[in-house]
Amino acid sequence: MRSRLRALRRRAAKDEGDPVVLASARIRVPDQVWVGPFTRRHPQLRVEYLSFTELDPDHSVSDLWIGGRPAGVWAREIAEFPDILRVETIAEVGGGGLYRIAYRNPPVVYFYRKLGIPLPLPIWMQAGSAAWEIVARSSDYRRALEFMGKVDPAFRIISIRRGPLQGHIPALSVAQQRILSEAMAAGYFDVPRRIGLDELARRLRRSRSSVSSAIAAIEEKLLDSAFSGTAFRAARAST
């Protein structure tokens, strides 16, 4: 018991000295990653990565929403990029198309794997640039800055916030905080609701599916934080 208490004190001291950083960055996507040249070729398009699943150490698959044109329009063009394995058209959603794309991993996947933290989703891209949300300890944040500087020396940090990591508070990304704030202000969580999902997505200038996925992820984090006790977790697991 005493050894466990000492370990917890050391962990708490480490957390206080290495606070969490929440930052938003704008970075140019390299030409070797298909979505970079694709969105530079079609700067009016908005592309959102909604999911990420590794197929093997060097390849992954993601569901992406591409706005502005019906589903299937871009499948053939995307399939021609050398880092693409396959492209599937899933559905027409929110004024655009939902695609499932398998691809060779870009360098950022290996970087996040090395840090041991998940990729921040959703990620949106337009005109060859990505809006990147970073949630990491200060030490890992400095490594992220070094990585982004190698990929794009002209990258920009748009916003940044620092604070201690508190286990009872869910670590919402900057994008999730914005969605939660807008949804609460607009009355999305009111009973009855004062705004629907379609209108909320329009206000946020995002696809309906990505906002729905983001709200589900936010609610899961909030529930996990609220039901952090063993008894509550057991009760949730049994339902």
- The larger pLDDT score, comparing residue 222 to residue 152, is at 152
Q: pLDDT by residue (tens digit) across 68-105? A: 888 889 999 999 999 999 999 988 877 889 999 999 99
Of the three residues 119, 141, 163, the one that is the final residue of a domain is: 163
What is the tally of structural domains in the chain?
A: 2
Q: Where are the beta strands (DSSP E) in 57-183?
A: 59-67, 84-93, 96-104, 123-126, 129-137, 156-163
Tokens at 110, concatenated: 């290996």
Residues 110 and 30 in one domain: yes
Query: Nearest CA to 99 among 51, 65, 148?
Result: 65
The vertex-27 CA angle with 173 and 157, nearest 5°, equals 60
- Is 1 within a domain? no
Phi, psi (degrees; rounded to nearest 5) at 29: -80, 130
pTM for this predicted structure: 0.62
Residues 144 and 169 in one domain: no
Reported as a pLDDT band with limits 50, 70 and 90, residue 66 is very high
Residues 28 and 135 in one domain: yes
Beta bridge partners of 65: 48, 98
Q: How far is CA 172 from the centre of its chain?
A: 10
Whether residue 223 contacts residue 234, with contact meaning beta carbons closer than 8 Å, is answered with no
Residues 44 and 135 in one domain: yes
Of the three residues 147, 163, 179, the one that is the final residue of a domain is: 163
- Is 224 within a domain? yes
Q: How far is CA 196 from the centre of its chain?
A: 23
Tokens at 124, concatenated: 């949106």
Whether residue 87 contacts residue 77, with contact meaning beta carbons closer than 8 Å, is answered with no
Query: Nearest CA to 38 among 85, 93, 98, 84?
Result: 84
Domain residues for the domain of 109 are: 21-163
Of the three residues 109, 135, 163, the one that is the final residue of a domain is: 163
- Is 6 within a domain? no
- The larger pLDDT score, comparing residue 123 to residue 183, is at 123
